[in-house]
Structure 1
Amino acid sequence: MFEACIIGAGPCGLAVSAELKRRGISHVVIEKSCIVSTIYRFPTQMVFNSTPERLEIGDIPFYTERAKPTRMEALNYYRAVVQRLALPVRQYEEVTAVERLDGGGFRILSRTLSGRTLETEARAVVVATGYFDHPNMLGVPGENLPHVTHYYRDAHPYYGQRVVIVGGTNSAAEAAIDLHRVGATVTLVHRGPAMSDKIKPWVKPDIQSLLDKRAIDAHFRARVAEIRADGVRIETLDGPLEIPCDHVLALTGYHPDTSFLERIGVDVCRDTGIPVHDEATYETNVPGVFVAGVVVSGFDANRIFIENGRLQAPRIADAIASRMAAHVR
């Protein structure tokens, strides 16, 4: 039996692993995809808004070519952390259930890509599953059509295409700029009165210039009412409008999987999505189950990032170490 099992190998899950490793606490990290899979799925040319030292974990320095790290530099860094610290990560293994054992601790059931079912036992479980797997759905007819996606990776496939981008945050702005540069016809649809004021400082002038020059079309205070095979119907202040398009990028944000926590027995606030937890240790109402990273913030995914989520790791590791000491006694 391990002392702890961490579910999720994002930066915050790896930060907990590094702290447990430092304390000599036996543990395993189970990740259903690759390590830091959310960063891997970011746009290929993405640049972080943070400086590299704010993304560091495990006391491993993060050196970058410029002031702000790129997606590729972050992938290189977190791979180096796992390798240098020899963190016990099992990739491409999806946790399907967490069961409490009669004698204390937990049985973690998982499945590999090949379909093999595994069982792992641990005295504590740390849920660091992030949020990127669960997009905020528009809830409109046609959202499941094949030309609709909630993720943006690269502009090249959209060359010569008519693309509707739904959203007004940083991801929508960067996608709109990229797509315009490769020759796509871009239309932005956002329910707010303007683009978000939280857009990265070096992105805001570019998107504003495109809007001012009408190089891309934009509809603010508007919402998508229906997505069709060859267009999108939106509701505006001036009435309904049809926008012909070939692709729809619904970049409306993401949320954590609260149902997974609830199946373990963790109480989750219906209004905020925040799991009940001790703010000093991040232990939930289920003794031995901890939460880490953005899952702590519930539906407000903008409250916790790598920068502050990684700081939870020492507290969680200390709490697990204290539980170990109590168990020995």
Structure 2
Amino acid sequence: MHIYDVIVIGGGPCGLAMGVELAKSGMDYLILEKGNLTESIRNYPRRMRFFSTAENIEIGGIPFAISEVKASRNEALQYYRKVAGYYNLNFKLFIDVDRAEKQPDGTFLTYTNDGQIFQSKNVVLATGYFDVPRLLNVPGENLPNVSHYYDEPFKYSYTNVVLVGGSNSSVEAALELYRHDAHVTIVHKEADFRTKVKYWLVPDVKNRVKEGKIHTRFNSVTEAIEPGRMLIRNTETGETEWLPADFVFLLVGYLPDEHLLTRCGVELDPATKVPTFNTENFETNVPGLYLCGTVMAGIFTEKVFIENGRDHAAAIADHLAGREIRTVKELIDRI
């Protein structure tokens, strides 16, 4: 069996950034991705634009040219593929990893769900967080008209759509759905939209609410979902209400795959799910096993993005190569 210097699990922006740094360092590596490259971005809403400016999500020193102020989903998909091609990154696609196990000789065996095994001296987990939605654990959450991912508006024209959540994903979906003739209601547990909503969306959504074109139920939580309707409860008054709901989007966030981490031997904080790792070189409690990107954030996924996650790759590569570690922006100090 060929022994790689490094197996990188995850082919998103941070996994690709890791591959670039390893390629620059002359290491023998392989990226394993369970979908296609940047699969999580491919699953974003089709007309989504990034909050960050293009230079903040560039990787590998390759400029990211865009047509407008903010990059679109399609532009990002094309950009990261071009970077992968430019560096001739070594990857295998549609390989779903089950676990990586440290062996008595110090190497790792990475097992896939289709029976393949890869051997390496080190492993980097760069699996992000978009694959595991936060669950409400309410009756009806698994109904076919309920989803944790919003795609595009045309399917939902002239239907009753309920969006649960008050952050970017919910606000963007609400505005797009309203403009494509859906009857939209936002249910949010707080008294107003989240403060981190993209600044250019705030006046738009608040004006639509004021006009009665988008409906809101603040200070409200979901109690149950049934075909065609949804039960909510006001947390201040205790009153319940059935909302018409042909479709329901539970856009309340996502989490890293804690089960994959534990199967790899990584220790997690029981409350926050933050894994144990060295904040300078990102090595976990398992020597030779590293974390890159949002996978290290536990429940605090809002603290690690492409912007700072891409910097982890350089620090990991420096540590693996025995070089002095380049400074990483301290944007995870509260994790």
Which of the five TM-score ranges fits, normalised by the shorter chain?
over 0.9
Q: Which runs of 4+ in 1 moved over 3 A?
A: none
Separation of aligned partners in 1, 2:102 and 2:25: 25
Deviation at 1:97, TM superposition (A): 2.2
Q: 1:214 — aligned with what?
A: 212
Separation of aligned partners in 1, 2:177 and 2:5: 48
Q: Are residue 266 (structure 1) and residue 266 (structure 2) matched?
A: yes
Q: Are residue 228 (structure 1) and residue 223 (structure 2) matched?
A: no
Matches within 5 A, 1:124-203: 124-203=122-201
Deviation at 1:273, TM superposition (A): 1.2
Q: What CA deviation, in whole Å up to 9, does each residue of 1:275-307 have, x standing for no partner? A: 100001000010000001001111111000000
Q: What RMSD in Å do the two structures reach over aligned CA positions? A: 1.1
Matches within 5 A, 1:7-22: 7-22=9-24
Q: 2:328 — aligned with what?
A: none
Choose which of 1, 26, 35 in structure 2 pairs with 1:33: 35
**Which SS does the other structure have where 1:93 is aligned?**
coil
Separation of aligned partners in 2, 1:244 and 1:211: 18
Deviation at 1:102, TM superposition (A): 2.1
Deviation at 1:322, TM superposition (A): 2.4
Q: Are residue 98 (structure 1) and residue 96 (structure 2) matched?
A: no
Q: 1:280 — aligned with what?
A: 280
Q: How many residue pairs get matched?
A: 319
Q: 1:240 — aligned with what?
A: 240
| More deviation, 160-169/262-271 | 262-271
Choose which of 48, 51, 55 in structure 2 pairs with 1:49: 51
Q: 2:327 — aligned with what?
A: none
**Which SS does the other structure have where 1:232 is aligned?**
strand
Q: What CA deviation, in whole Å up to 9, does each residue of 1:69-106 have, x standing for no partner? A: 11111111000000010011111111122122221110
Q: What CA deviation, in whole Å up to 9, does each residue of 1:226-258 have, x standing for no partner? A: 001120000013401011110000001001111
Query: Contact conserved, 2:101 with 2:265, CA < 8 A, in 1?
Result: no
TM norm structure 1: 0.95
TM norm structure 2: 0.93
Separation of aligned partners in 1, 2:116 and 2:129: 24
Q: 1:326 — aligned with what?
A: none
Structure 2: 5+ residue stretches without partners: 324-335
Separation of aligned partners in 1, 2:209 and 2:193: 10
- Letter of the aligned partner of 1:216 in structure 2? I
